[in-house]
Amino acid sequence: MHQPDATPRRSLYFRYRVHPAAPRPAAGHDHAPVVVVGGGPIGLVTALDLAGRGVRCVLLTADLQLSEGSRAIVFTRRSMEILQQVGAHEPMLALGLPWRSGNSFYRDRCVFRMEAPHDGHDRFEPMLNLQQPLLEEALVSLAQAQPLLALRWGHRVTGLQDGPEGVELEVDTPQGSYRQRADWVVACDGARSTLRRLQGLALEGDSYEGRFVIADIRVELPFPTERRAYFDPAWNPGNTVLMHRQPHGIWRIDYQLPPDASAEAALAPPALRAAIDAQLALVGAAGTAWELDWCSVYSARALTLPDYRHGQVLYCGDAAHLLPIFGVRGANTGLQDSQNLGWKLAMVAGGTAPPALLDSYSRERVGAAREIIAEAGRSTRFMTPPTAGYRLLRDATLSLSLTQAFVRPLFHWRTSRPHDYLHSPLNTPAPAEDGLADGPAVGAPLRNVRLQADRWLLNHRFDGFLLLLFTDGSAAPAALQDAPRHWRARGVPLTVLTVGPGADLDDPEGRVAARYGVTAAGAAFLARPDQHVCARWPAATREALDGALRRALALD
Amino acid sequence: MTIKLADLEEAYDALAEAIDRTPPDRRELMLVKLVLLQARDAADPARLRALAEIALQDL
């Protein structure tokens, strides 16, 4: 019998609440269209997104309380845009610490400082620091208010049978086990995914040697919220130390372990104390009092499943891939998975689109993971050189960086960014010269636009597809205006939003048009429910729109 | 690509002297820094790869 830990986790800043284990479902209520496994941020956002699209779902979480420790602490602008769609951005903004700049230090000097791009049109800062349990708490509140979502604490999946008619999960609870049936299962059960093991799936890729101690301490330090990376500090020669400020007076200190050090020895209190004291001394805060909140050891890895769909089971987040932390690619990648999957699964579960639509989820997101792995590999090779050659080059770069500006961009920390699905089968390719070259590419996410002081384009609730249709003040063609009625009757939510002087979206100064590279009326961008552009035209027609929608839904 | 003998001899001496001015346990590091500086001046990574292949011969 599953006996989850009912002792509240210890934290200096977060009060863990132990939830009562959910009862087993009553006889005859053991089926759901979708079961999401895993109560972390990715599972919660996936379930909220699905329920928001009208899909009844069950969320199973093995624990009775939220995640231990700060875990994911840096959320990108794109993640905030995704979280906005499920209504979680406001608590994030209220609690989190926004930031833009990263600093690399070597021998007491800041040898590279970089500011992440921030456009006046963006609503969210490039990064926002917030401890994962605080995000989870906000998401749980939203889940509890969502009538289509049943959140079951203390339910652990122990078995899985997949067939063409659906999946049967064996679930263990403190009150005994039961069988839960589902048309679809989404595995958001993290790096040590039970479902991945039950389906006998193996991750592919490299396992890097770099291991980091992650320590959260409560301490007063006079630094702004920025990324601070220390290379080859005297107390940890050859290795790298990262520092991030978190809310509630907490600082994250990540430091690399020498290759021969054991994780147990590194986490032993005297060793941990010595390392943190040495790092505080390095930043000029020797002797400052501090208190440990949480610590763990992390291994830098770059692995992915080669396919995120296995029968009726879909993999999302760390269950699907393990990505290096450099560049904040864990939760931020998982949120993009979740956003990509949500609308597709809702369309398939609702019978509007064929299951083949889900293959595009796998194709787009495996492609994103592989791109991230290639990109993150460069950062990883610099932060934790895997061979003697890479170490020598890194050390030569550090040494040159004190006087030679040309090597400093090698410190560039490549952060998670939205993936452009440029080669997606759901795209309607645009001709090379469509006159919209300055607008978002087909496959890229829509660009946010500040419409008024506190109003942005991406405040739009993406309950379905969105056609942004640029007009010159005259009415849009009736055939396009009529498209939403036609498609909604087929279960496909579509909104036509005219943009221009006096249009739905009044754009008297042409701000939106400028941001979308539009110079003539009639141009249009069709965005999927995950905000990615799947077609664009210099002069949209109803026939072209219908064709693009069929393609984006895998109906052709 | 050719180099005049006098220039080659000057480079030869300069390199030897730089190595001798480097503490023994820092020679590898100094030489890699030097190659990175040369790589900046040459701005031709493909050429560097080809030269590395030549340097790898007959070690």
**Which of A382, A387, A391, A393 is best to mutate for the B interface (most B CBs within 10 A)?**
A393
Which pTM was predicted?
0.95
**Total Cβ atoms within 10 A of residue A23:** 12
Query: How far does B22 lie from chain A, in Å, by closest CA?
Result: 14
CB environment A444-455: b (16+ within 10 A), e (fewer): bbbbbbbbeeee
Nearest-CA distance A393 → chain B (Å)? 7
Do residue B40 and residue A406 have CB atoms under 8 angstroms apart?
yes
Can you give chain B as a three-state secondary structure string?
CCCCHHHHHHHHHHHHHHHHCCCHHHHHHHHHHHHHHHHHHHCCHHHHHHHHHHHHCCC
- Among partner residues B29, B37, B40, which is closest to A392 by beta-carbon distance? B29
What pLDDT score does A348 carry?
97
Amino acid at position A475, single letter:
A
**Are A65 and A9 in contact, with CB atoms under 8 Å apart?**
yes
A388 neighbourhood in chain B, CB within 8 Å: none
| Pairing mode, strands A313-315 and A505-506 | unpaired
The two domains A205-301 and A450-552 share their CATH topology (first three levels equal): no
Q: Are A528 and A343 in contact (CB under 8 A)?
A: yes
* A114–chain B nearest CA distance, Å: 21
**Average pLDDT of the residues in A198-215:** 87
Distance between A53 CA and the closest CA of chain B, angstroms: 51
pLDDT digits (tens, 9 = 90+) for A26-69: 988 999 999 999 999 999 999 999 999 999 999 999 999 999 99
Q: Which amino acid is at A337?
A: D
Contacts of B41 in chain A (CB under 8 A): none
- Which residues are paired to A292 by β-bridges? A217
The C-alpha angle A27, A44, A325, rounded to 5 degrees, equals: 140
Chain B residues closer than 8 Å to A397 by CB? 36
Predicted local distance difference test score (pLDDT) of residue A418: 87
Contact A252, A99 (CB under 8 A): no
pLDDT interval class at A314 (50, 70, 90): very high
DSSP A475: P
Signed CA dihedral, A532, A534, A537, A541: sign only: negative
Please judge whether B33 and A393 are an interchain contact, meaning their C-beta atoms are less than 8 angstroms apart: no
Please indicate if any CB of chain B lies within 8 Å of the CB of A303.
no
pLDDT over 90 at A479, yes or no: yes
Tell me the range of A113-122, A471-480, A488-497 where mean pLDDT is highest: A488-497
pLDDT for residue A208: 67
pLDDT tens digits along A243-300: 999 999 999 999 988 888 899 999 999 999 999 999 999 999 999 999 999 999 988 7
| Cross-chain Cβ contact B33/A396 below 8 Å | yes
- State the best of B28, B36, B48 to mutate against chain A, taking most chain A CBs within 10 Å: B36
The minimum CA-CA distance between B29 and chain A, rounded to whole Å, is 6
Q: Which pLDDT tens digit goes with each residue over A442-478?
A: 999 999 999 988 999 999 999 999 999 999 988 889 9
pLDDT score of A482 more than 90? yes
State the first-to-last Cα distance of chain B, in angstroms, to the nearest integer: 23
Indicate yes or no: CB of A400 within 8 angstroms of CB of B36.
yes
Q: List chain A residues with CB under 8 Å of B40.
A: 404, 406
Query: Minimal Cα–Cα distance from A390 to chain B, Å?
Result: 11
C-alpha span between A513 and A507 (Å, rounded): 8
The fold adopted by the segment(s) A205-301 is D-Amino Acid Oxidase; Chain A, domain 2 (3.30.9)
**Rounded percentage of chain A residues whose pLDDT exceeds 90:** 84
User: What digits encode the pLDDT tens for the residues A324-362?
Assistant: 777 788 999 999 999 999 999 999 999 999 999 999 999
What are the pLDDT digits (tens) for A145-185?
A: 999 999 999 999 999 998 878 999 999 999 999 999 999 99
The reply to whether residue A404 touches residue B37, judged by beta carbons under 8 angstroms, is: yes
- CA distances B15 to A246, A300, A510, B18, B58, Å, are 50, 39, 62, 5, 21
* Separation CA A507–CA A324 (nearest Å): 42
Residue A392 to chain B, least CA–CA distance (Å): 6
Chains A–B, number of C-beta pairs less than 8 Å apart: 21
Mutate to test the interface with B, among A390, A392, A394 (most CBs of B within 10 A): A392
Q: Above pLDDT 70, what percent of chain A?
A: 99
- Inter-chain contact A396–B29, Cβ cutoff 8 Å? yes
Other CB atoms within a 10 A radius of the CB of residue B46 amount to 7
Q: What is the pLDDT of residues A352-362, one digit of tens each?
A: 999 999 999 99
- Of the pLDDT bands very low, low, confident and very high (cuts 50, 70, 90), residue A207 is low
Domain positions in chain A are 205-301, 382-409, 450-552
A395: which chain B residues are within 8 Å (Cβ-Cβ)?
Answer: 29, 32
Is A399 within 8 Å of chain B by CB? yes
Tell me, yes or no, if A400 comes closer than 8 A to chain B by beta carbon: yes
Round to whole Å and give the CA distance between A420 and A365: 10
Which residue from A133, A168, A136 is spatially nearest to A151, judged by alpha carbons?
A: A136
Cβ–Cβ below 8 Å for A396 and B40: no
Say which of B32, B37, B40 has its CB closest to residue A392.
B32
Q: Tokens representing A43?
A: 């599972």
Which CATH number among 3.40.30.120, 2.130.10.10, 3.30.450.40, 3.40.50.300 corresponds to the domain A450-552? 3.40.30.120
CB contact A401 to B (< 8 Å): no
Burial of B28 (0-12, 13-18, 19+ CB in 10 A): middle
In chain A, what residues touch B55 (CB-CB under 8 Å)? none
Whether A392 and B33 lie within 8 Å, measured CB to CB:
no
Residue A374 clears pLDDT 80, i.e. is over it = yes
Q: Which residue bears the tokens 């998401």? A: A139
Name every residue whose Cβ is closer than 8 Å to that of residue A449 and which is 6 or more positions away in sequence: A121, A456, A457, A511, A512, A515
Mean confidence (pLDDT) of chain A: 94
Of residues A91, A92, A86, A84, the one with CA closest to residue A47 = A86
- Residues of chain B scoring pLDDT < 70: none
Shortest Cα distance, chain A CAs vs residue B2, angstroms: 28
User: Does residue A200 sit at the B interface (CB-CB below 8 Å)?
Assistant: no
Work out the number of other CB atoms within 10 angstroms of the CB of residue A170: 15
pLDDT at A164: 79
The candidate with the shortest Cα–Cα distance to A65, out of A121, A119, A137, is A137
Q: Which residues of B touch A407 (CB under 8 A)?
A: 36
pLDDT in the model for residue A210: 75
Tokens for A20? 């009562």
- Note whether A392 contacts B36, CB cutoff 8 Å: no
Cβ-based contacts of A399 with chain B (< 8 Å): 29, 33
Edge-to-edge strand order for the sheet containing A505-506? A505-506, A494-500, A465-470, A524-527, A533-537
> Which pLDDT belongs to residue A209?
62
Instruction: Please state, in angstroms and rounded to a whole number, the distance separating the CA atoms of residues A379 and A396.
Output: 16
User: Nearest 5°: CA angle at A419, between A413 and A425?
Assistant: 155
When scoring B29, B30, B38 by the number of chain A Cβ atoms within 10 A, the one with the most, hence best to mutate, is B29
Tell me what the mean pLDDT of segment A133-144 comes to.
98
In angstroms, the separation between the Cα of residue A396 and the nearest Cα of chain B is 5
